[in-house]
Chains A and B, each alone.
Chain A
Amino acid sequence: MLKKCVQNKNFMIGAVLLGILVLILAVSFFYLPYDPNGMNTQQKFQLPTPAHPLGTDNFGRDILSRVMKGSQSVFLVGFSSVGIGFLFGLLFGAAAGYLGGAVDEVLMRITDALMAFPGVILALVIITVSGSSTLHTAAALGVTAIPRFCRIARAGFLQIKEMDYVKAARSRGASPLRLMALHILPNMVSPLLVTASVGFAGAVLSEAGLSYLGLGIQPPEPSWGMMLFEAQAYLLSSPWYAFIPGCLITMMVLGFNLLGDGLRDVTDARTA
């Protein structure tokens, strides 16, 4: 399994990209070169120099420090929204797929309704109603991720509950909960992992989008999307500023998508 992962090009490129970002995240907890919100109007729009390796922004804040600090909120929003989507999606999907019948019908129609809204619009509505903060952003994105996980989980449960070994477990007297937790769920971990990986990329992108619109993480707290928005005004005079957060968002999204693709290839018996 591990060997196959290493041999898979997509997986490895994704893993390296994400490895770099996780490293940035890890360092940011212990060390930031400058105060990410500390302004220095004397040194606005500096190109990378030894003192400011990634230059400075319109208020003379150190971009490297802001990017590092921003990685914390990106990961926080990514993990919590995927976590919420995963947890509730799995619960609903399991109930729908395993129980079937009326439960399935009701849950799936609710999911369809959720899916009918474009994710970002739905998140916008939720944030508008609840007020914008990092936590609300994560929650809103989590809700928009539920239908996707729900569909995957339902499909998995529907398929695997018909497997002979599940019937065999039933014939041994295993209770429904035990069947679901021990016999069905472990056999559908890989599609769920792939979904989580791709979902993480989506969440990062949506968070950047929301922050760009000023509805995500609130300034002066740094966020990559927010930085991109601020840099927009100076795109012609100092393209460098927009380039950095843009690059990082791309790295993050690409990394998770490649990792997801790689995982799918590695775990899928047909292509392996």
Chain B
Amino acid sequence: MEHLLDVEGLTVEIRIRGHAYRALDSVGFRLDRGEIVGLVGESGCGKSLTALSVIGLLPEAARVGAGEIRFRGADLVEWTEARMCGLRGKDISIVFQEPMTALNPLMPVGRQIAEAFLQHGGSKSEARAAALRVMKQVGLSRPDSLYWEFPHQLSGGMKQRVVIAMALINRPALLIADEPTTALDVTIQYQILELIKQLNRSLSTAVLLISHDLGVVREVCSRVIVMYAGFIVEEGGVGEVLRRPLHPYTRQLLESIPTPQKRGRPLYTIPGVVAALDQRPAGVCPFCDRCARARPRCREAVPRLTEQNGRKVRCFFAGGGAE
């Protein structure tokens, strides 16, 4: 069966002072119709870069070095900018992290929502009708008057709903949500997640949810992909990965989440930070410097992403080897 999105061997390089650094290294994953997949990892691990390369909006300094991004069977890496314009906002849309800055301050929000419809061949009145419809769908009350309001008149939660409405007006097959709830407070966060889940069911839109909050991922996703320093280190069903993580990074991530059981004890944190792009050692396990179970072998080669029981993991000692 053909997958909706099939990324294979994706390598993205970023040029810093004339030198190209690999920010994504042979990233591969699949997404099927109607699925919600989580993409987790710390800041700087390449989650957003993965998302941006799928929709073809990589920053100027970055370029795809190798690999394929097949969407409905067609390789998007090969596509021209003009062709991507026809795809963006129609078949694939993205919701950015900051609803405060993702809206043009000088344009009424309704017109911004309608823009994607207008850009993909709708008439003005159709676009307006579609915008009002989708505004209602994402739970914005009084869409008629809201249509003409400016972003500064809206609250944070409303703005994020507007941004989601913008992304969904053309009923895209794939929605990329880049930390859609990070900038919102917890109650609004819950509402937005519920909204995404509900829209995923009613429109059968596949969602690639980027987050660094494992709680959010547990809540909405069916599968989860864990990234570290440009590599996919673990992939599998949400329940399994979070209950019985195979990769030390996932395990250490889970340990650093505060829970009621850990009350009264100092919270675990993973030592160190993600190495800066120009300071990543080559030819070693990307996580070896911060890993609690690193062995000499980890510094000899990059472990391969191996599959076991429907899960994938990139560690020499995964699956109890290191226990």
Contact = CB atoms under 8 A, between A and B. Distances in A.
Interface stretch (A72-80, A169-177, A207-215): A169-177
Interface stretch (B93-101, B222-230, B301-309): B93-101
B42 to A, nearest CB: 21
A187 B105 contact: yes
A182 interface: yes
Interface string B153-177: 0000000000100110000000000
B103 A170 contact: no
Contacts of A167: 57, 96, 102
A165 interface: yes
A171 B119 contact: no
A171 B112 CA distance: 12
A183 B107 contact: yes
Interface residues of A, number: 19
Given A168-B103, A172-B93, A100 B60 contact: yes
Interface in B82-119: 85-90, 93-94, 96, 98, 101-107, 112, 115-116, 119
Contacts of B60: 100
Nearest to A166: B104
Contacts of A171: 55, 57, 88-89, 93-94, 96, 167
B120 interface: yes
Nearest to B90: A173
A154 to B, nearest CB: 16
A165 B85 contact: no
Nearest to A184: B104
B106 A173 contact: no
B102 A168 contact: yes
A169 B103 CA distance: 9
Contacts of B89: 171-174
Contacts of B87: 173
A50 interface: no
Contact of B103 (A165, A174, A175, A178): A165
Contacts of B57: 167, 170-171
A186 interface: yes
Interface string A82-116: 00000000000000000010000000000000000
Contacts of A173: 85-90, 116, 119-120
A163 B86 contact: no
A239 B88 CA distance: 70
Nearest to B104: A165
B134 to A, nearest CB: 13
B102 A172 contact: no
A87 to B, nearest CB: 21
Nearest to B82: A175
A173 B117 CA distance: 9
A251 B222 CA distance: 71
Contact of B104 (A100, A175, A187): A187
A107 B147 CA distance: 40
Interface in B175-202: none
A170 B88 contact: yes
Interface string A139-177: 000000000000000000000000111111111111100
A197 to B, nearest CB: 20
B242 to A, nearest CB: 30
A92 B224 CA distance: 47
Nearest to B97: A164
A171 B164 CA distance: 12
Contacts of A168: 94, 96, 102-103, 163, 166
B207 to A, nearest CB: 15
B56 to A, nearest CB: 9
Contacts of B93: 171-172
9 closest pairs, A vs B, by CB? A172-B89, A173-B89, A172-B116, A164-B101, A173-B88, A165-B104, A168-B102, A173-B119, A164-B102
Given A171-B55, A171-B88, A173-B86, 7 more contacts: A100-B60, A167-B57, A167-B96, A167-B102, A173-B116, A174-B119, A182-B104
30 contacts: A163-B101, A164-B102, A165-B101, A166-B104, A167-B102, A168-B102, A168-B103, A168-B163, A169-B104, A169-B112, A169-B115, A171-B96, A172-B88, A172-B93, A172-B115, A172-B116, A172-B119, A172-B166, A172-B167, A173-B85, A173-B86, A173-B119, A174-B119, A175-B85, A178-B119, A182-B104, A182-B107, A183-B104, A183-B107, A186-B106
